[in-house]
Amino acid sequence: MPHPAPPLPGTATVRARVRIPLTFPDGYRAEAEVFTFHGLADGAEHLALTLGTVPDGGTPLVRLHSECLTGDVFGSDRCDCGPQLRESVERITEAGGYLLYLRQEGRGIGLYNKLDAYALQDSGLDTYDANTALGLPEDGRDYTAAAQMLGALGAGTVDLLSNNPDKAAQLAALGIAVERRVPTGVHLSASNVRYLRAKVERTGHSIELSRLVG
């Protein structure tokens, strides 16, 4: 199928769309319509998955999910990314909205650097200090492309499924109105307690500290 021509700089348009059935390891199934785009600011191959049906006049539930190979694919317990992805697909399917799968491995530092940061965390640094010890930003993510994707999909106002206040702040600054921020669950394991605690204490994530025992 031919793809539409790229848009003018600064805007994004839908390049193609295709239906993909999703099945998770626990047996949960969902139908997604996956969108690709022309004109994204960072040139990366981000995806938007449409899940469920947004009621007429309703506000879509949106998750900005940063790619995490170790958590999303291999099921690593060092983070909560895989369980958050699974939870988000179900909740967005029920409410109607979009999951934006953003190619921002390791909060934007890349896979190899993320694994190097893991080695530093094993020596005692938290997830943010490990990044800076490598000469990298604590969080290098920019959500300009995400805002462009939502604009191309006609989603100028969203409910944001996230514990991270920076995502809401960046979207608002980029012209996407965040009607409300909806927290995800607390996906706790013996291996990610320090990681989740650092998110709360360092960047104000809305996770109940009382749940982070150990």
Residues serving a catalytic function are: 139, 141
**Cα–Cα dist 170/178, whole Å:** 10
Exposure string over 121-142, b if 16+ CB within 10 A, otherwise e: beeebbbbbbbeebebebbebe
3-state SS class at 37: strand
Q: What is the DSSP letter of 78?
A: S
DSSP 73: I
Planar angle of CA 101, 107, 109, nearest 5 degrees: 115
Spell out the SS3 assignment of 157-187.
EEEEECCCHHHHHHHHHCCCEEEEEECCCCC
Nearest residue to 106 (alpha-carbon basis) of 91, 121, 90: 121
C-alpha distances in angstroms, 16 versus 12, 19, 132? 12, 11, 38
Rg of the chain in Å (alpha carbons): 17
